[in-house]
């Protein structure tokens, strides 16, 4: 019997207690406050962000908690239960972009980078130092964005401690202010941590709403909150962390980006989103577009991006027209088909899937999932399956068994609901 490890999210009480305890045992005394931010899972819209496209993430109930106390100098001291418990010290005046002599290394760069970026963006001046204790129930390196959860928790912490007035209150979050925090967190990850990611992760973590998926327009950062209550329709979104290494920063990601940029420039458009808009408006066809491209590789990559943006639109329309209990029958079938088509496109045209991801998808489908796909950048990481709530255990057990039989590391299972943003 294969073991099934269910990674349940901590509630706010538990997360806060754990962070406070780590703070006190590390630094003595009590923190000034505890802040948290969620990981995310993308329902559909993959590899669209850097093409000016659309994505549809939800914030996970799994969050990173940071207990912090303000310091009177420009030093940050950091400890994380996920990083061995050693205290790392960083001088905020010595933080600089990756590759420069003042480079900060390791996980501290995600924290120090946020302070650097807030100052670079003109959102803060001379931020105070902080003592920080980090705990998290977001799996790291699983494509569920533990990196954004860490950045965004730290960003709202500094917002409060240094009185930046950007995040707004829990009752009334400021979306405009949060968009600016998103930009700072993206710069921290790109320029200080040195990971080339688009802005979807940070937008989901800072701007999502509980009970809603976040339709993100990656061209201008506009968002729409799409009601999502799968439980009302008797459904469950199962997230499977395959525990296969994903390497975003690796060359493959950069190559996909470069191919898309080359295709857009050949077509004379600012980004591939423009192509998707034109096909959706019936101004041209995908076939016409593909015929103008350089080679089969460009054609396959463009076909993925354009059809993926179309799928996001189609899926969102179904969710909007069939909220809550109405997501059954034909509408549900169409949502499932969009998820399946997204996976097949990522596997065959974009070539970013992995054996483990394909296995989850195949097994979930064989056990009655309405749809299943890899999620995140690919080459490992996580997959999602939209299943009947009363068959979730069956799918979970079947996936665990299949991994066991294939001699793969046991995967982790996360029951996902659309949770609230950083606060």
The binding site for Mg ion (CB under 5 A) comprises 145, 147
7 binds, among ligand ADP, Mg ion, none (CB under 5 to 8 A by kind): none
Binding range to ligand ADP, per CB under 6 A, among 7-15, 112-120, 138-146, 265-273: 138-146
Q: What angle do CA 44, 347, 354 make, to 5 degrees?
A: 100
Task: Between 149 and 309, name the residue whose CB sits nearer to Mg ion.
Answer: 149
264 binds, among ligand ADP, Mg ion, none (CB under 5 to 8 A by kind): none
Instruction: State the minimum distance, in angstroms, from the CB of residue 166 to ligand ADP.
Output: 22
Task: Between 141 and 211, name the residue whose CB sits nearer to ligand ADP.
Answer: 141
Asked whether position 141 contacts ligand ADP by CB under 6 A, the answer is yes
Asked whether position 146 contacts ligand ADP by CB under 6 A, the answer is yes
Is 404 in contact with 382 (CB distance < 8 Å)?
no
Task: Between 147 and 375, name the residue whose CB sits nearer to Mg ion.
Answer: 147
134 binds, among ligand ADP, Mg ion, none (CB under 5 to 8 A by kind): ligand ADP
Q: What angle do CA 270, 273, 274 make, to 5 degrees?
A: 60
Query: Which are the contacts of 65, defined by CB distance < 8 A and separation ≥ 6?
Result: 10, 15, 16, 18, 19, 34, 35, 36, 134, 135, 136, 153
Instruction: State the minimum distance, in angstroms, from the CB of residue 131 to Mg ion.
Output: 24
Q: What is the DSSP annotation of 186-197?
A: HHIIIIIS----
The CA distance from 240 to 403, in Å, is 11
The CA distance from 361 to 363, in Å, is 6
Among 107, 158, 253, 379, binds ligand ADP (CB under 6 A): 107
Tokens 């937008």 belong to residue: 203
Asked whether position 136 contacts ligand ADP by CB under 6 A, the answer is yes
Sheet (strand 88-91) strand order: 33-42, 57-70, 130-136, 75-80, 88-91
Instruction: State the minimum distance, in angstroms, from the CB of residue 380 to ligand ADP.
Output: 10
- Evaluate the CA torsion angle 214, 195, 84, 378 in order and state its sign: positive
Residue 6, classified by CB atoms within 10 Å of its CB into exposed (0-12), middle (13-18) or buried (19+), is exposed
Count of positions on this chain that bind ligand ADP (CB under 6 A): 18
Asked whether position 379 contacts ligand ADP by CB under 6 A, the answer is no
Asked whether position 110 contacts ligand ADP by CB under 6 A, the answer is yes
Task: Between 208 and 230, name the residue whose CB sits nearer to Mg ion.
Answer: 208
Q: Which two tokens stand for residue 251?
A: 């060359």
Instruction: State the minimum distance, in angstroms, from the CB of residue 414 to ligand ADP.
Output: 12
Asked whether position 326 contacts ligand ADP by CB under 6 A, the answer is no
Which among 159, 201, 241, 340 is annotated as catalytic? 201
Q: What is the DSSP annotation of 327-364?
A: --HHHHHHHHHHHHHHHHHHHHTS----HHHHHHHHHH
Strand-pairing partners, residue 5, are 412
Task: Between 199 and 336, name the residue whose CB sits nearer to ligand ADP.
Answer: 199
Asked whether position 375 contacts ligand ADP by CB under 6 A, the answer is no
Check residue 91 and report its DSSP letter. Answer: E
Q: How far is CA 42 from CA 29, 149, 201, in A?
A: 39, 14, 9
Asked whether position 33 contacts ligand ADP by CB under 6 A, the answer is no
Task: Between 247 and 326, name the residue whose CB sits nearer to ligand ADP.
Answer: 247
Asked whether position 134 contacts ligand ADP by CB under 6 A, the answer is yes
Strands 75-80 and 130-136: parallel
Catalytic-residue membership of 217: no
Among 16, 42, 145, 307, binds ligand ADP (CB under 6 A): 145
Residues tagged active-site: 201
For ligand ADP, the binding residues (CB under 6 A) are 64, 80, 82-83, 107, 110, 134, 136, 140-147, 150, 195
């Amino acid at each position: 019997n294969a073991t099934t490890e269910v990674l349940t999210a901590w509630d706010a009480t538990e997360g806060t207690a754990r962070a406070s305890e780590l703070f006190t045992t590390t630094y003595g005394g009590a923190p000034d406050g505890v802040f948290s931010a969620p990981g995310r899972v993308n329902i559909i819209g993959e590899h669209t962000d850097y093409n000016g496209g659309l994505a549809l993430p939800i914030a996970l109930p799994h969050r990173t908690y940071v207990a912090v106390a303000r310091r009177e100098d420009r030093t940050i001291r950091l400890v994380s239960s996920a990083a061995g418990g050693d205290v790392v010290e960083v001088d905020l005046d010595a933080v600089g972009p990756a590759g420069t002599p003042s480079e900060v290394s390791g996980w501290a760069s995600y924290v120090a980078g946020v302070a650097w970026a807030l100052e670079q963006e003109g959102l803060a001046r001379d931020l105070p130092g902080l003592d920080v204790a980090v705990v998290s129930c977001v799996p790291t390196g699983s494509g569920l964005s533990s990196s954004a959860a860490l950045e965004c928790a730290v960003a709202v912490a500094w917002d409060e401690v240094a009185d930046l007035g950007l995040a707004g209150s829990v009752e009334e979050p400021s979306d405009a202010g949060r968009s600016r925090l998103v930009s700072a967190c993206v710069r921290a990850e790109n320029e200080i941590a040195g990971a080339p990611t688009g802005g979807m992760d940070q937008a989901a973590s800072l701007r999502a709403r509980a009970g809603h998926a976040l339709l993100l327009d990656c061209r201008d950062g506009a968002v729409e909150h799409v009601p999502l209550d799968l439980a009302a329709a008797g459904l469950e979104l199962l997230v499977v962390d395959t525990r296969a290494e994903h390497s975003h920063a690796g060359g493959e990601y950069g190559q996909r980006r470069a191919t898309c940029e080359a295709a857009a420039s050949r077509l004379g458009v600012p980004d591939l989103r423009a192509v998707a808009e034109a096909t959706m408006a019936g101004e041209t066809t995908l076939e016409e577009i593909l015929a103008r491209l350089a080679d089969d590789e460009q054609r396959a990559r463009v076909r993925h991006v354009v059809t993926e943006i179309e799928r996001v639109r189609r899926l969102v329309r179904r969710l909007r027209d069939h909220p809550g209990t109405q997501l059954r029958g034909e509408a549900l079938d169409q949502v499932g088909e969009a998820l399946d088509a997204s996976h097949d496109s990522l596997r065959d045209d974009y070539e970013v899937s992995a054996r483990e991801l394909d296995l989850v998808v195949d097994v979930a489908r064989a056990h009655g999932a309405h749809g299943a796909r890899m999620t995140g950048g690919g080459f490992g990481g996580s997959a999602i399956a939209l299943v009947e709530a009363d068959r979730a255990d069956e799918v979970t057990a079947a996936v665990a068994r299949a991994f066991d039989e294939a001699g793969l590391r046991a995967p982790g299972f996360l029951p996902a609901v659309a949770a609230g943003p950083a606060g």
